[in-house]
Structure 1
Amino acid sequence: MIAGGDSACVAVAFSGGRDSTALLHATAMAAREWPGVQVVALHVHHGLSVHADDWLRHAQSMCEAWARQGLPVRLCWRRVLLTVKTGDSVEAVARSARYLALQEMAQEVSADMLLLAHHRQDQAETLLLQALRGGGVGGLAGMPRDTLRDGVRWARPWLDHPRSAIEAYVTAHGLPFIEDDSNTDPRYARNRLRLSVWPALLSAFPEAEACLASSARRLSDSLAVAEAWCDQVLPVLCPHGVPALRSGSDHQGEASLDARAWALQAAPLRRESLRHWYRLVTGQIMSASWVERLSDEIPELLLKGRATRWPDMGLSLYRGELRWRNVPQVAGEGASAQAPETSLAIEGPGSWHVPAWHGTLRVREVTSGGMPVWMLQSLTLRARQGGEQFQMGPGRPPRSLKKQFQALGVSSWSRGGPLVWVVNQLAYVPGLGMDARVQAATGVAQCALEWCPDEGLG
C-alpha cells in the first residue's frame, strides 16, 4: 500500500468516522516503517451538520495525538460551501464538492496517492442503489478500486474487506471516532437501504454482501473492456480529435462527434460510445435515461435534417455533428435583441464582465489578426439590427452576417451576444471573430476579442 522513497506523501480522506479513522491509523503505522514517507489526513468541512466544527476539532486532536506518538501524520482541511438547487440531491452535491476538495488538497500537499476507506458493504450497497435507479454498467460496476485523476492516484485498499474487519481493528487499537448523526436520517437513499433493507436482505441471503461485491468486480471488468473498445472507435467518430478526459465541468472548451457515422452503429454500440465520449469531454457521467433518449432521438433528427440542442446537457446537433460546449445554454439572437447599447474603454488585455449582456468580453494580446490596441478605448456593444456586413479576411468581400454564419456552420443558438463596434465600424462578431477591416498591420501592438456568455444563460 505504501512504497518508500524520498519525501513521498500519501493522503487519506479523513472524516473522523470509524472507517476513515481505521484507514488513517493503519496507513500511518505502515508509513512509520518507511523513512521519508509522510501521511496527510484530508478533512472536508461541509457545514451541513451542527457538529461539523466539533468533527474538525476531533480530526485535529487525533492527528496531533498520533504525531506525538511518533506517527508521520498531519492534517490538511478545507471548508466547502454547497449550492443546492431545487431538484438536486444533497448527497450528490456534497459528494461532488468533497471529491473536488480532496483532489485539490492532495495536489497542494504533493500527494501522488489518495486513499479512501470504502469497504465491501459500501460496494455492495452502491451496486444495489444503482440497480434500483436503473443504472448502466458504469454504475453497477460500483466504485473503482484504483483510478488516476489529474496526477493523483485514488485507491480504495479495503474494498474487498468486510465491515466487521474494520470494526475489529478499531476495537483492537482503542481508536476513538465520531458518529455522523446524518447516518440515521431516512431522507437519504443509502441510509434507507442500510437501515431498513440491508438487515432483511442479509437475513434471507447471508452471503449477499460478498456476492454483490463480486458482481460489481466482474461488471468493472466488463466496463474496462467496453472502454477499451470505445478508445478504438472514437478516433473515427471525432472529426477534430479525441478529447482528453476532463476532471470537472468548470473548464472551457468544445468538442464534437460525427453524428452521422455514430448513428450507423447498432443501438447498444451507439449508447456505449456516446456515454464514453460524453464522459471524456465533460468529466461527468451521462445518466442512463439521457443515453437512451439521445441514442433514439439523434438518428431520427438526422433523417429529417433537423438541428436542435439539449441545453441541460450542453449539447447541440447541427450539420451532422453532435457538439458540446461547457456553457449549458448559450444566449440566442432573440435574447440579445433586448440588451442595451454599452460602451467600454479598455486599456489592454484582460476580462470585462458586462452584466447587461450577461457575459464577459475577453481581450488578449496577439501578433496578428487583432485590432490596434488604441481602438480598445472606443468600443461599443450593440444588438444585431439587420443589414450588418462582415469581412472574413483581407481582400475578401464583405457579406451579410447571415451568409457568413451559414458559411462557417455557426448554429443559430451560437449567434447571440453583442456585436462590437469601433465608432461606426463593425470590429468583432461572436462566432465569426475579428472583422478584417479593423485588423492591425504586422508589427503593430494588437489585441483579439472573445465573447463568453455567462454560464447557464438561455
Structure 2
Amino acid sequence: MTPRPLAVACSGGRDSIALLHATWRAARALADATGQLHPIHAFHVHHGLSRHADDWLAHCAEQCVQWRAQGADLQFHARHLDLLPSPGGSIEALARSGRYAALADMARATGCDTVLLAHHREDQAETFLLQALRGAGAAGLASMPASIWREGICWRRPWLQHPRAAIEAYVAQHGLRHIEDDSNTDSRYARNRLRLHLWPALTQAFPQAPQVLGDAARHAQDAAECLQALAEIDLGAVAAEDGLDAAAAVALGGARLRNLLHLWLQRTVGEPPRASWLDRLSRELPTCTDARWPMAGMGELRLWRGVLRWIPGMPVLPAAERVAPVALPDLRAERCFPLPTFGGVLHIEPVAQGGVALDGLATLTARPRSGGEQFQRAAGTPPRALKKQYQLAGVPAQGRGGPLLFCGEQLVFVPGLGMDARVVAPDGRPQVALHWHAHHTGHSTTQGTG
C-alpha cells in the first residue's frame, strides 16, 4: 500500500471499536516492518438522538487518547447532526443519510480517500432480509457491498464475511471497552424488530442462515451489476435529445424497459423511482402517443412527438404552508446566517472574483419561488426563466429548495445555480460568494454556490 491516511467510522460500539483497534495495530505493525506510515483517523458522528450521545462521543475520544499513548498514530474527529425528521419520515433513513454525509465530509477534510466500516456477516444477512421484506429488486437485495467508490471516497467493509462471534472473541481477547446503544432494544425500528424477534428463531431453525443469506446478497450484487451494464447499453441506444426515443425504448420489452427507465430516472431525477411507478409507466408507455405522468410534486414525465422527457417541477405548498418573504439584516459582517423559515443556513465567504459586492449584503430579501423569475447564468447570455435554467444546469428537483435572494427586485442568488451574472462584482472590488446549506436531510448539504 502507498502510505496514506486511512479512516475508520467509530460509533463506540463493539464492532467499530474492534475495527479501529485492529486497524491502528495493523498500521503500526506495517510501519515497524516497512517504515511506511499510515495515519489513522477515527470518525465519530453524534446523531443527537440519544440522551447518552455525549457520553459516547467522550468515550471514543478518550479511547483514542489512550491508544495514542500506546503508540498509535491516531486522530479523533467528530461531527454533530441536526436531524429534522419530516412528519411520517423514517428516522432510521434520516440518520443513515446524515451519518454517511458527515463521514464523507470528515474524509475530505482529512485527506482520506478510504473509510472503513465495521459491518459483519450478520449485518449483511439482516440487511438482505429487510430488503426482501420491502420487496426490493436486485439492487436492494445486493445489500451492502464489500467495497464501493462514491464521490471520490472508497467505502470498505473488511469484516463483511466474518461472523459476529469472531468480533466478540477479538474484543474479549484484547479487553476492549465499548458502549451499548440502548436504542438497539427499541422495537419501533425495523432492524431491531428483526434482530430481536425474528433472528433468534431463524438461526435456531437454520444455523447456516447468516452464511447463506450473505451468499444470496453476493449473487444479487452480481445480478445488479449485470442489469446496470445492460441499462447502460440500452440507454446509449435509445437516447434522444433531452430524453428517450419512446418507440426504441418500448421495443426493448417490459423487463428491459423497466431496467432502462430505472437507470435513466435515477440519474435524471436524482433518486430511484418506485417499482409500482415503473410498472405503471412500462404498461402505459406502449399504448400512448402524447401523455404526462406526474411524480409526487417533483415534476413529471412527458411524452411528446415520440420523445419521453423529464420536466422538473416545483412542489406547490398549500397557502397555509407557503413561506413569506424575509427581509434580512445587514449581512456584511456575517459569515453565516440561519434562515429556519427556509430550513437551512446561508454561508458567506470572501472571494477574489465571481461574487457579489460586499455592499450588496446590506439590503437583501429572502423569498420563495413564486414563478416568473428570470436568472442569467453567465455574462453575455440572455436571462431565462428559472425553471429553464434549472433544466439546463441539470439541477435535480431536490436541489431546488431554499430561498431566492433579491436586492430590491433584482435576483441575486439561487440555490443550485449560484450568483446571477448581472450582480457579479468587478475584479478587485470587495466581494463574497454565497452558499446555501439545507438541513432537511438531517445534515448540512450545500445546495447551491456562487
TM-score normalised to structure 2 length: 0.70
Distance 1:309 1:84 in 2: 22
Query: Which residue number in structure 1 is paired with residue 19 of structure 2?
Result: 23
Please point out which of 293, 297, 311 is paired with 1:323: 311
Q: CA deviation at 1:296?
A: 3.7
Paired residue type of 1:329: P
Q: Cα deviation per residue 1:175-224 (whole Å; 9 max; x = unaligned)? A: 11111011111111111111111111111111111101001001101111
Query: Which residue number in structure 2 is paired with residue 276 of structure 1?
Result: 263
Distance 1:70 1:164 in 2: 28
Q: Do residues 258 (structure 1) and 222 (structure 2) align? A: no
Query: Which residue number in structure 2 is paired with residue 397 of structure 1?
Result: none
1:165–1:307: structure 2 CA closer, same or farther, 3 Å change rule? closer
Query: Which residue number in structure 2 is paired with residue 287 of structure 1?
Result: 274
1:304–1:234: structure 2 CA closer, same or farther, 3 Å change rule? closer
Distance 1:213 1:81 in 2: 34
- Listed as ranges, the matches of 1:155-174 within 5 Å are 155-174=156-175
Query: Which residue number in structure 2 is paired with residue 69 of structure 1?
Result: 70
SS in 1 for 2:127: helix
> Aligned residue pairs: how many?
405
TM-score normalised to structure 1 length: 0.69
Paired residue type of 2:130: L
1:63–1:273: structure 2 CA closer, same or farther, 3 Å change rule? same
Q: CA deviation at 1:154?
A: 0.4
Query: Which residue number in structure 2 is paired with residue 375 of structure 1?
Result: none
SS in 2 for 1:177: coil
Q: Cα deviation per residue 1:387-436 (whole Å; 9 max; x = unaligned)? A: x9x9xxxxxxxxxxxxx99xx9x99x99xx99x9x9xxx999xxxxxxxx
Given that 2:83 and 2:439 are in contact with CA atoms closer than 8 Å, whether structure 1 keeps it comes out as no
SS in 1 for 2:135: coil
Paired residue type of 1:310: A
Query: Which residue number in structure 1 is paired with residue 130 of structure 2?
Result: 129
1:197–1:79: structure 2 CA closer, same or farther, 3 Å change rule? same
Paired residue type of 1:29: R
1:324–1:203: structure 2 CA closer, same or farther, 3 Å change rule? same
Task: Point out where structure 1 has 5 or more consecutive residues left out of the alignment.
Answer: 241-255, 343-352, 359-378, 381-387, 391-403, 429-437, 439-451
Given that 2:82 and 2:439 are in contact with CA atoms closer than 8 Å, whether structure 1 keeps it comes out as no
**More contact order relative to length (CA 8 Å, sep ≥ 6):** 2
Paired residue type of 1:197: L
Overall identity of the aligned pairs, in %: 44
Distance 2:439 2:173 in 1: 52
Paired residue type of 1:260: A
- Listed as ranges, the matches of 1:330-369 within 5 Å are none
Given that 2:24 and 2:74 are in contact with CA atoms closer than 8 Å, whether structure 1 keeps it comes out as yes
Q: Cα deviation per residue 1:249-292 (whole Å; 9 max; x = unaligned)? A: xxxxxxx5326246513221122122222333455343333433
1:67–1:224: structure 2 CA closer, same or farther, 3 Å change rule? same
1:226–1:356: structure 2 CA closer, same or farther, 3 Å change rule? closer
Paired residue type of 1:317: L
1:300–1:18: structure 2 CA closer, same or farther, 3 Å change rule? same
SS in 1 for 2:191: helix
1:357–1:10: structure 2 CA closer, same or farther, 3 Å change rule? closer
SS in 2 for 1:175: coil
Given that 1:46 and 1:94 are in contact with CA atoms closer than 8 Å, whether structure 2 keeps it comes out as yes
Q: CA deviation at 1:302?
A: 4.0
Query: Which residue number in structure 1 is paired with residue 361 of structure 2?
Result: none
